[in-house]
A and B are shown apart, each in its own frame.
Chain A
Amino acid sequence: RKEVEQDPGPFNVPEGATVAFNCTYSNSASQSFFWYRQDCRKEPKLLMSVYSSGNEDGRFTAQLNRASQYISLLIRDSKLSDSATYLCVVSYSSASKIIFGSGTRLSIRP
């Protein structure tokens, strides 16, 4: 079983829709959680950190559920420009323990 698992998608939704992804992690010692965005043939870039209390950045909301060991990303009023792959990232206290999920591909159609 992978340490960090994501539904690979693709999710194909119309512009303006709300879409949600989940990511599960297996190690309860995980300390920090992130969502990264990766455009086709580009490098990953940080979208947002995920805090225990949940956090929102414009149309994006991230939540953490430590008891069930998953994090989620909600995108409201989706735009064409949101089309990308979204990577879930889990890290521990050690500099080397940063685990990337395989990514969820999102495609927004007009």
Chain B
Amino acid sequence: NAGVTQTPKFQVLKTGQSMTLQCAQDMNHNSMYWYRQDPGMGLRLIYYSASEGTTDKGEVPNGYNVSRLNKREFSLRLESAAPSQTSVYFCASTPDREQFFGPGTRLTVL
């Protein structure tokens, strides 16, 4: 089992560019999450999906959109990147309470 995978690992964007962060899990988990982690802020929830076909906003959804393509995949899209979105992005999935995280995507917006 690969667990939770994320692509890309690193990305540099210019302000205004768009991109999609990909996440996939092979553990047959229903719930999937997108977080961002900034120094001193801990992990903050951007969006989550409790099950295939449903998505809901978390604490910091502005500037992001998500797609739960199927049970395995949950993508995060930045339509018009801003420097404030420079962060490390983690995808996670859970069967119940314990969360399993992907390795993260380090995004820099210039």
- Using a CB–CB cutoff of 8 Å, the interface residues on chain A facing chain B are 4, 8, 32, 34, 42-46, 49, 87, 89, 91, 95-96, 98, 100-103
Given A95-B31, A95-B48, A98-B45, A46-B98 contact (CB < 8 Å):
yes
Docked-complex contact B97 and A32, CB < 8 angstroms: yes
Given A95-B50, A96-B58, A101-B42, A43-B102 contact (CB < 8 Å):
yes
- A49 surroundings in chain B (CB, below 8 A): 97-98
- Of B45, B48, B97, B101, which is within 8 A of A43 by CB? B101
Interface presence of B99 (CB below 8 A): yes
- Of A45, A91, A95, A103, which is within 8 A of B42 by CB? A103
Docked-complex contact B48 and A96, CB < 8 angstroms: yes
Chain B interface size range: 20 to 34
Interface presence of B79 (CB below 8 A): no
- Using a CB–CB cutoff of 8 Å, the interface residues on chain B facing chain A are 31, 33, 35, 40-45, 48, 50, 56, 58, 90, 97-99, 101-104
- A43 surroundings in chain B (CB, below 8 A): 90, 101-104
The distance in angstroms between the C-alpha atoms of A84 and B64, with both chains bound, is 30
Q: List 20 A-B contacts (CB under 8 A).
A: A8-B40, A34-B98, A43-B102, A44-B43, A44-B99, A45-B101, A46-B98, A49-B97, A49-B98, A87-B42, A89-B99, A91-B97, A95-B50, A98-B99, A100-B35, A100-B43, A100-B44, A101-B42, A102-B40, A103-B42
